[in-house]
Amino acid sequence: MQLKAKLARNALTIGSWITLGHPSIAEIMAAAGFDWLVLDTEHSVLELSDVQKLIQVLDGQRCPAIVRLTSNHPDQIKRVMDAGATGVMVPMVRTAADAAAAVQAVYYPPRGQRGVGLARAQGYGARFQQYRRWLEDNAVVVAMIEHIDSVNAIDSILSVDGIDAYIIGPYDLSGSMGRPGELDYPEVQSAIERVKEAGRRIGKPGGIHVVEPDPDQLVQNIKAGFNFLGYGLDIRILDTLCRGHMHQIREAL
């Protein structure tokens, strides 16, 4: 079943983040069984050429590639979609208008306003009509809820036609509330709960990015009602495993 269909059914999906540009990283993570992988262009040095190469690797592994953008700019959305991305993860969606603008940039007219061009996604020109049909059935738009303004407008954001899921960026959210990194602060937790309840009420799948790779924390969030979750990222998974193993080795000596 395609990712968009899973989201429409509110099925549980678990993904992760890629910030390193080596194809082997993407190949290893896709083969590990994640339901989707985010190529992060906001907090990494990945360039568009890197993104296309990683999308090609993920396509070979049949793993949906979602590109986390640096902004909600339609030109950026058009380029990553033309590179063959399954969808986009849009940062700092603070209003329903922001959400609608992202959807418009993903889809061609008459549904959207995306410029028409021929690139990898369209089979380099050989499969444009097939891509048009694929786009309608498979493209995914994820709104990042990472500001208190987003929380205050959450019902209208999640009600925008074409928003397939949401994900909470806990660090930026806490920062917007004057408590950067204080994820357990009561008001931050209350804001997260408000978003979760809105998603449940509207029937929109969503979740949170569990940045540190902690399986217990991930399970807790699933039990709390989230069903679209990011688990760790390449650099944190690599770092925690290396540090943890070296600690165990030294303790055993």
Averaged pLDDT for residues 70-90 = 97
Classify each residue of 175-203 as buried b or exposed e, where b means 16 or more C-beta atoms within 10 Å of its C-beta.
bbbeeeebeeeeebeebbebbbebbeebe
- Distance of alpha carbon 122 from alpha carbon 117, whole angstroms: 8
Could you tell me the residue range of the domain that residue 16 belongs to?
A: 3-252
- List, by residue number, the catalytic residues: 43
Note the residue count of the chain: 253
- How many separate domains does the chain show? 1
- Given a cut of 80, is residue 1 above it in pLDDT? no
Residue 207: closest CA among 226, 220, 194:
226
The confidence score (pLDDT) of residue 227 equals 97
Cβ contact 168:207 at 8 Å: yes
- Distance of alpha carbon 77 from alpha carbon 82, whole angstroms: 8
The confidence score (pLDDT) of residue 173 equals 95
- Distance of alpha carbon 14 from alpha carbon 229, whole angstroms: 5
Q: What is the CATH number of the domain that holds 239?
A: 3.20.20.60
172 in helix, strand or coil? Answer: helix
Averaged pLDDT for residues 186-205 = 96
The confidence score (pLDDT) of residue 131 equals 98
- Distance of alpha carbon 248 from alpha carbon 213, whole angstroms: 18
pLDDT in tens, 108-153: 999 999 999 999 999 999 999 999 999 999 999 999 999 999 999 9
